[in-house]
Amino acid sequence: MPETDPLTWARDHTPVLESLREEFGESQPLSGYTVAFASHLEAKTGVAIETLHAAGAEVLFAPSEPQSTHGDVVDALEAHDGITAFAWEGMTDAEFDEAQHDLLEHEPDFILDDGCELIAKVHADHPEVAANVIGGGEQTTAGITRLEAMDEEGVLAFPVYGVNDTPMKHFFDNVHGTGESALTNVAITTNSLVSGRDVVVCGYGYCGRGIARKARGMGAQTIVTEADPRKALEAHMDGHRVMDMDEAAEAGELFITATGNRDVIRERHFERMPDGAVICNAGHFDVEIEVGALEALAEKTTTPKEGITRYHLPDGRELNLLAEGRLVNLTGPYSQGHPAEVMDTTFAMMFTAAYDMLADGTDLDPGLYTVPDRLDRAVASRKLDTLGLSTEGLTDRQQAYYEEWEHPDSSF
């Protein structure tokens, strides 16, 4: 009965992965390699794992976040020979940590990571495993930040593609995937409108601008906070009000963090927020909102609706935190994870990163690398094909025009 396969719907909506399975299902170019895969474990991730396996790899997988694992997906994947789970639904934080270490002890040849959890741990705690890893890929901004620091310190033991830093990833996953799913999950969880609301978006990177643009597109009055003066100006020109966080705390009703940093909303801001404010995180770790400070301020907490923790402050104000400060679009009660189309391109890029180093002969020194343009373009072309969209290349005269500088036949 096809309807009981938890991967069916995701398979239908990941045409780029489908085209990879079709191309590599016979030639099995990843045969002989063990690939570790960490991500939020739901149906789309399952299809990515299936695709690596279809191309010949032995796959070990673990969650990147303990709360977001779907048990039925884990079960469906484990049914395959050559796929091993280090994950189950309802893991504690301790179990999550331990499972990652277990996975690493199985000595993967390649690590496809989410948040740099596996890569940080293999370097910190399993140096002998790290020494034999051929390469890796990382799909989040926050993970890249950690990898940059590792690269700067010179501690990376193998080459890693920063998959997050490709145009394809930014446009699809961050701007559109996080942008839409953050708003959708907030709207469903709070049963409230986005239109007419004073929405504060903290951070104007790719995620933040997606959230802010779409909130504005729905009819919100948007406010952006941003530490970088250039991004702040860009937000201003895009029609958002720019404030510092103290001002924004007073002016906002709904607060969404998307910075990749910590303590973006902290005690001084909770003190300024209006009664009834809704606060959530669409960045990465649960450190963007200083939940501990909010707990310290509150007299008690209640649960007015599933997925919402209400902090009752001594002055009578009630502040509402969604998904405990974890990623609202991935861990909220109604979350289906990122939209399938965006994960399709992100996972295709992750696959391509592995294929490039393992099967296509690319040999790199240890370090953090941006994904070469040729790989990004290849995924873009696959995606365009699946959409049936037409572009046309440059004519010879146009190509020549880019390459010359005298412009001899320009009319002046």
Whether 107 has a binding-site annotation, put simply, is no
Counting residues that bind a copy of itself (by CB under 8 A) gives 121
- Least CB distance from residue 68 to a copy of itself, whole Å? 12
Please say whether the beta carbons of 119 and 125 come within 8 A. Answer: no
Rounded distance between C-alpha atoms, residue 151 and residue 385, angstroms:
36
Q: Which is nearer to a copy of itself, 30 or 207 (CB)?
A: 207
Which residues from 117-156 bind a copy of itself, rule CB under 8 A? 120, 124, 145-147, 149-150, 153
Give every strand in the sheet of 58-63, ordered side by side.
83-85, 58-63, 34-39, 110-113, 135-138, 159-162, 367-370
Give the burial class of 411: count Cβ atoms within 10 A of its Cβ; 0-12 exposed, 13-18 middle, 19 or more buried. exposed
Q: Which is nearer to a copy of itself, 59 or 379 (CB)?
A: 379
**Contact with a copy of itself (CB under 8 A): which of 78, 101, 285, 317?**
285
3-state secondary structure of 138: strand
**Contact with a copy of itself (CB under 8 A): which of 27, 31, 132, 192?**
192
- Least CB distance from residue 40 to a copy of itself, whole Å? 12
- Least CB distance from residue 29 to a copy of itself, whole Å? 23
Whether 170 has a binding-site annotation, put simply, is no
**Contact with a copy of itself (CB under 8 A): which of 193, 250, 267, 370?**
193
Whether 226 has a binding-site annotation, put simply, is yes
Stretch that binds a copy of itself, among 22-30, 45-53, 171-179, 351-359 (CB under 8 A): 171-179
Q: Which is nearer to a copy of itself, 21 or 269 (CB)?
A: 269
Q: Which is nearer to a copy of itself, 23 or 404 (CB)?
A: 404
Rounded distance between C-alpha atoms, residue 366 and residue 344, angstroms:
28
Rounded distance between C-alpha atoms, residue 156 and residue 215, angstroms:
39
Q: Which is nearer to a copy of itself, 208 or 339 (CB)?
A: 339
296 near a copy of itself, judged by CB under 8 A: no
Which residues from 239-258 bind a copy of itself, rule CB under 8 A? 239-247
Whether 208 has a binding-site annotation, put simply, is yes
The tokens for 152 are 């700067």
Place of tokens 């998904």: 323
Write each residue from 353 to 382 as x if it is in contact with a copy of itself (CB under 8 A), else as -, in one continuous string. -----------------------xx--xx-
Please say whether the beta carbons of 55 and 20 come within 8 A. Answer: yes
Rounded distance between C-alpha atoms, residue 163 and residue 342, angstroms:
13
Q: What are phi and psi of 335, to 5 degrees?
A: -65, 135
Rounded distance between C-alpha atoms, residue 172 and residue 345, angstroms:
7
Please say whether the beta carbons of 283 and 263 come within 8 A. Answer: no
CA 255, 259, 263, 268: dihedral to nearest 10 degrees? -40
Which residues from 309-338 bind a copy of itself, rule CB under 8 A? 310, 318, 334, 336-337
β-pair type (135-138, 367-370)? unpaired
**Contact with a copy of itself (CB under 8 A): which of 180, 272, 366, 372?**
180
Stretch that binds a copy of itself, among 25-33, 78-86, 127-135, 279-287 (CB under 8 A): 279-287
Which residues from 36-75 bind a copy of itself, rule CB under 8 A? 43-44, 66
**Contact with a copy of itself (CB under 8 A): which of 308, 322, 328, 349?**
308
Which residues from 219-238 bind a copy of itself, rule CB under 8 A? 219-221, 225-230, 232-234, 236-238
Please say whether the beta carbons of 227 and 173 come within 8 A. Answer: no
Whether 179 has a binding-site annotation, put simply, is no
Q: Which is nearer to a copy of itself, 24 or 96 (CB)?
A: 96
The tokens for 318 are 């009630």
Give the burial class of 93: count Cβ atoms within 10 A of its Cβ; 0-12 exposed, 13-18 middle, 19 or more buried. exposed
Whether 152 has a binding-site annotation, put simply, is no
Q: What are phi and psi of 81, to 5 degrees?
A: -65, 140
Binding-site positions read: 205-210, 226, 282-284, 329, 338
Residue positions forming the annotated binding site for NAD(+): 205-210, 226, 282-284, 329, 338
